[in-house]
Chain A
Amino acid sequence: MNDMENESISKNLEEALKCFESKTKQAPAGYFHQFELGLMQKIKAQEHAPKRAPIVALFLDHKQYLVAASLIFAIATGLLFFNKAEKNTTSLAKVEIIEIETLPDELIEAYVINNEFVAEVEWNTAIETEAVFISKQ
């Protein structure tokens, strides 16, 4: 007989379990009769309680569809808001381009002259870098 088929328990444990049962298998006199009365009162109260409104019941019965619809609505609203924000950003950029194109020539020349030195340095650096690259090859 394997261990799991052997259901013998020690005498100590058996004695203790008997005492445990006699202790727990106690209920006040008349308890079960009172229990029945109290229970049936609760059940009757539950049966006579106003039923929930059919509209609410409809939604509660189709809770998963309500949750799905709410999620779709939230995502759609988010997308619309995001697209609107992006359009605004794009139109700002467009306005800037238009503004540059409408700048007077004098202003553009002044800008070039002021930044000529920087442009020259950057150009020379680019030439040197390319020369190094060509010499390595």
Chain B
Amino acid sequence: MTDQSLIIQFQNGDNKEFAFTQLLKRHQEHVFFQIKKMVLEHADADDIAQAVWIKVWNKLDGFKQESAFSTWLFRVAYNETLNFIAQKKRLTTQNSQRALDPILEHPATQNALKETEIQIKLERAITELPEKQRFVFMLRYYEDFDYEKIASITGTTVGGAKANYHQAVKKMTELLQQA
């Protein structure tokens, strides 16, 4: 069954649960891993993914299928992820950030750091990207979405999406090259 037929089945109230779980099984991994690349923590990604799918359940009746279901789904995921990150930023205090430093300075941590230095650099580079740029990059690089789809998901233009991607690549390259 295609996404369209499952959506029609859901909207007709004809075994909604079956139609919804079929859509869930089909798309949940892609959405979850996209979210996880944004927030890195499994628990955070889990919270966001739950919020995304609950929203899908609540709003699917009004989905007019003017775009592909996956486009709409990733748009919901994009909005929920950015809201979560913004909320977490508001709640994170300076104290909690200072508490991390002693951990980083510990000798055991220092050894581990040498082995995965490039990974840590990349993660830092990724987290330093503005969220929109990060999301665009992930969709393009890992999901191989075209720019029209990415523009539709992130509410920008094709040119804007391209610019975001290239800025992201440039920043990550520069940060990786730093000592």
Contact = CB atoms under 8 A, between A and B. Distances in A.
B28 A36 contact: yes
Given A16-B122, A20-B122, A40 B17 contact: yes
A17 B125 CA distance: 11
B33 interface: yes
B50 A38 contact: yes
Interface in B136-179: 141-142, 159, 162-163, 165-166, 169, 172-173, 176-177
B173 A13 contact: yes
Contacts of A39: 24, 50, 53-54
Contact of A16 (B24, B28, B32, B119): B119
A12 interface: yes
Interface residues of A, number: 27
Nearest to A28: B42
Interface in B110-126: 118-119, 121-123, 126
Interface residues of B, number: 36
A7 interface: yes
B47 to A, nearest CB: 11
Contacts of B159: 4
A10 interface: yes
A46 B57 CA distance: 11
B29 interface: yes
Contacts of A25: 33, 36
Given A4-B166, A9-B173, A20 B24 contact: no
Contacts of B50: 35, 38-39, 42
Interface string A17-48: 10111011101100010011011101100100
A57 B124 CA distance: 47
A45 to B, nearest CB: 11
Contact of B25 (A16, A36, A46): A36
A17 B49 contact: no
B166 A32 contact: no
Nearest to A43: B57
CB-based closest 10 A-B pairs:
A16-B122, A4-B162, A24-B37, A24-B36, A25-B33, A43-B57, A16-B118, A9-B169, A39-B53, A13-B173
Nearest to A9: B169
Contacts of A15: 118
B26 to A, nearest CB: 12
B165 to A, nearest CB: 7
Interface string B37-76: 1001010001001100110010000000000000000000
A58 to B, nearest CB: 21
B83 interface: no
Nearest to A23: B119
Nearest to B177: A12
